[in-house]
């Protein structure tokens, strides 16, 4: 994928496409949004999942629509062992057939983070190396992707649409309008296994060095990069084609 900005007309065309989909799907239920994405893009759409605290809801819905849809998972090298075990558990439980795991480029890691401690001095650079760049490579064969962001998770996510343009991709946010009770209700109604660390107060689970427990009343993502101004790893910041 090129780092050059898209031509204005290409960017405008993608934005119009996203706007049409948003107008059609903004009030649709998540299963209908996922089905519409699959219908519109066929094998050129993938789901991106962290297999984190609430990932099971989107993954279960995807399995209901089409369990062969590719699911892209970024193993940063700093994940909790519980997350990797949970990934394997959900693959088996949901019958997902194309979970593809991506890692940071090893040459880049050795050059930029040979001691695996970049997170301590520059979290943005660490996320770029271990998440943003691997995702760019993972998404290269696709025209659209789904993710599990929800508006209630943080003040920075209050206005996310159901469909948006993102670089050269269309990005679907099928769960955007769901609240905590609906997420918990879906998990309970379908008897889905939860991430094992939720019982210990982890409401949003990323890399070990940058994840902490969340106190009652805090945003679900308050435990990510605690004490820093950082609120997103970078994969959901607008990208260029």
Q: Which residues are catalytic, by number?
A: 233
164 phi and psi angles, rounded to 5 deg: -150, 160
- Kindly state the tokens that stand for 103: 């890692």
CA distances from 161 to 11, 20, 40, 187 (A): 18, 12, 18, 23
What are the helix and strand counts (H, E) for the chain?
A: 9, 6
CA distances from 120 to 39, 53, 125, 209 (A): 43, 24, 10, 8
- In the numeric block, the tokens 């065309």 are attached to 13
Name the 3-class secondary structure at 120: helix
- Of the candidates 154, 157, 152, the residue with the CA atom closest to the CA atom of residue 178: 152
C-alpha to C-alpha distance for 168 and 149, rounded to whole angstroms: 19
Decide if 132 contacts 3 (C-beta within 8 A): no
Q: What is the dihedral of CA 86, 91, 93, 95, to 10 degrees?
A: 170
């Amino acid at each position: 994928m090129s780092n050059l900005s898209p031509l204005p007309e290409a960017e405008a065309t993608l934005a119009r496409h996203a706007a049409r989909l948003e107008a059609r799907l903004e009030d649709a239920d998540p299963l209908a949004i996922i089905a519409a994405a699959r219908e519109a893009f066929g094998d050129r759409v993938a789901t991106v999942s962290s297999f984190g605290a609430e990932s099971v809801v989107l993954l279960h819905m995807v399995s209901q629509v089409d369990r062969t849809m590719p699911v892209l998972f970024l193993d940063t090298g700093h994940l909790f062992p519980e997350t990797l075990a949970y990934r394997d558990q959900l693959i088996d439980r949901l019958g997902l057939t194309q979970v593809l795991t991506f890692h940071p480029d090893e040459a880049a890691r050795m050059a930029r983070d040979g001691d695996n401690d970049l997170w301590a001095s520059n979290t943005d650079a660490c996320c770029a190396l271990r998440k943003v760049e691997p995702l760019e490579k993972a998404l290269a064969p696709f025209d659209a992707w789904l993710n599990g962001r929800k508006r209630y998770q943080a003040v920075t996510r209050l206005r996310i649409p159901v469909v948006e343009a993102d670089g050269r991709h269309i990005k679907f946010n099928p769960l955007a309008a769901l609240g905590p009770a609906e997420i918990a209700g879906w998990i309970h109604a379908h008897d889905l296994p939860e991430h094992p660390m939720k019982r210990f107060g982890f409401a949003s689970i990323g890399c070990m060095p940058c994840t902490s427990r969340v106190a009652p009343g805090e945003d679900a993502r308050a435990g990510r990069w605690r004490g820093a101004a950082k609120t997103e790893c970078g994969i959901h910041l607008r990208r260029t084609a």
